[in-house]
Amino acid sequence: MSRFTSQFHKFFTALEKNNNREWFHKNKTLFKDEVEAPFHHFIGELMHYLENKGETFNKTSTKDYVYRIYRDVRFSKDKSPYKVQMSAILSPEGRKSDVPLGLYLEANHDKFHIYEGLFRPSKSILYNVRNAIAQNIEQFEEILNHPKLTATFSPLLGDKNKRLPKEFQEAALRTPLLYFKSYYIRAELSSDLLLMDNLPEIVWQYHKIAKPFTAFLNKALSD
């Protein structure tokens, strides 16, 4: 199975304008051959590359790491049936487990994004992260402000609480980072990179830069 071609980009360009079941059904073979299969192939290739760098993946099928293109519209005002990107999470236990953390990828015709961190964690996980930050404020701020990280990733992203539990209010006077409800960062890359032969190496370089950030969060979740 080959890596991505320009058909990957063309499919998502058209899907944005035709996000309906009739169009998708007519183009399902194109999706299967030029989008879904190459993306799974890439994720498998990337997993193998990362394993050679010391990463661990406890599932053997890429289906455990790649999200399906079909949207769950039951509780959404947007009833568009399909996502306008392919996505995957490369963590040890795959997409059905919150911990340990890994990296999350999104790709379509005009973006290739790499995410690291926590998105909308449970209350217990959020509590553990806030507790770790409160006890290690200088360390966490040093990680976030490292020149390599700030040069390649966004500032910390995520919604914020207006109020905090009493046990964090004093520490919040020293750092507003405790108000975040999610803790993640994003690298915004061009979708043209999907056509590069060294794409796994490119992803690894970004992941390596974010490793101290992810390691801090993973330690908070394991303590």
Asked if residue 154 is part of any domain, the answer here is yes
> Domain of 50?
6-222
| DSSP letter (8 states) at residue 180 | B
Asked if residue 211 is part of any domain, the answer here is yes
Residue type (1 letter), 204: W
Alpha-helical (H) ranges within 36-122 are 37-52
pLDDT score, position 2: 55
Asked if residue 192 is part of any domain, the answer here is yes
pLDDT score, position 73: 87
Asked if residue 60 is part of any domain, the answer here is yes
Asked if residue 108 is part of any domain, the answer here is yes
Answer for the pair 177, 133: CB distance below 8 angstroms, yes or no: yes
- DSSP E strand stretches across 22-169: 86-90, 103-107, 112-118
What is this structure's pTM? Answer: 0.94
- Going by C-alpha positions, the residue among 140, 151, 217 that lies closest to residue 182 is 217
pLDDT score, position 75: 84
Asked if residue 94 is part of any domain, the answer here is yes
CATH of the domain at 173: 3.30.930
Give me 98's structure tokens: 């919150």
Domain count of the fold of the chain: 1
Q: Tens-digit pLDDT profile for the chain (223 aa)?
A: 458 999 999 999 999 999 999 999 999 999 999 999 999 999 999 999 999 999 999 998 999 999 999 999 888 888 999 999 999 999 999 998 878 999 999 999 999 999 999 999 999 999 999 999 999 999 999 999 999 999 999 999 999 999 999 999 999 999 999 999 999 999 999 999 999 999 999 999 999 999 999 999 999 998 8
Q: How far apart are CA 103 and CA 204, in angstroms?
A: 10
Asked if residue 1 is part of any domain, the answer here is no
Answer for the pair 125, 221: CB distance below 8 angstroms, yes or no: yes
Asked if residue 81 has a cis previous peptide bond (ω within 30° of 0), the answer is no
